[in-house]
Amino acid sequence: MKALVYHGTKDVRIDTVPDAKIEKPTDVVVRITTTNICGSDLHMYEGRTDVEKGKILGHENLGEVEAVGGAVVSVKVGDHVCLPFNIGCGFCANCERGLTGFCLTCALPGSAGAAYGFAGMGPYSGGQAEYLRVPYADFNCLQLPADAKAKESDYVMLSDIFPTGWHATVLAGMNPGDSVVIYGAGPVGLMAALSARIRGASKIMIVDRHPDRLQLAEQIGAISINDSKGDAVEQVLALTEGAGADCGCEAVGYQCHDHHGHEVPNLTMNNLVSSVKATGGIGVIGVFIPKDPGAVDALAKKGQIVLDFGKLWSKGQKIASGQANVKQYNRKLRDLIHAGIAKPSIIISHELPLDQAPAAYKNFDERTAGWTKVILKPTA
Binding site for Zn ion (CB under 5 A): 38, 40, 88-89, 92, 95, 103, 105, 160
Please name which of 20, 63, 59 lies closest in space to residue 42, comparing C-alpha atoms.
59
By C-beta, is 157 or 312 nearer to Zn ion?
157
Q: Between residues 38 and 62, which has the closer beta carbon with respect to Zn ion?
A: 38
Which of 116/183 has CB closer to Zn ion?
116
Q: How far is the CB of 236 from Zn ion (least distance, A)?
A: 27
DSSP-based three-state secondary structure for 37: strand
Cα radius of gyration rounded to whole Å, the chain: 20
In the complex with Zn ion, the residue whose CB is nearer, 182 or 232, is 182
Task: Work out the end-to-end distance of the chain between its first and last CA atoms, rounded to an integer number of angstroms.
Answer: 14
Residue 25 Cβ, how far from Zn ion at the closest point, in Å?
18
Closest distance to Zn ion from the beta carbon of 104 (Å): 6
> Could you give phi then psi for residue 12, rounded to 5 degrees?
-120, 145
Least Å from the CB of residue 2 to Zn ion: 21
CB of 41 to Zn ion, least distance (A): 7
Angle at 147 between CA 145 and CA 148, to 5 degrees: 70
Nearest residue to Zn ion, scored by beta-carbon proximity: 38
CA 162 to chain centre: 8
Q: Which is nearer to Zn ion, 152 or 227 (CB)?
A: 152
Dist. CA 204–CA 217, nearest whole Å: 9
Minimum Å gap between C-beta 179 and Zn ion is 27
Given 3-state DSSP classes, what are the helix, strand and coil percentages for the chain, each rounded to the nearest 5?
30, 25, 45
**Residue 301: which H helix or E strand, with range?**
helix 298-301
**Which class for 241: exposed (0-12), middle (13-18), buried (19 or more C-beta within 10 A)?**
exposed
Which of 160/208 has CB closer to Zn ion?
160
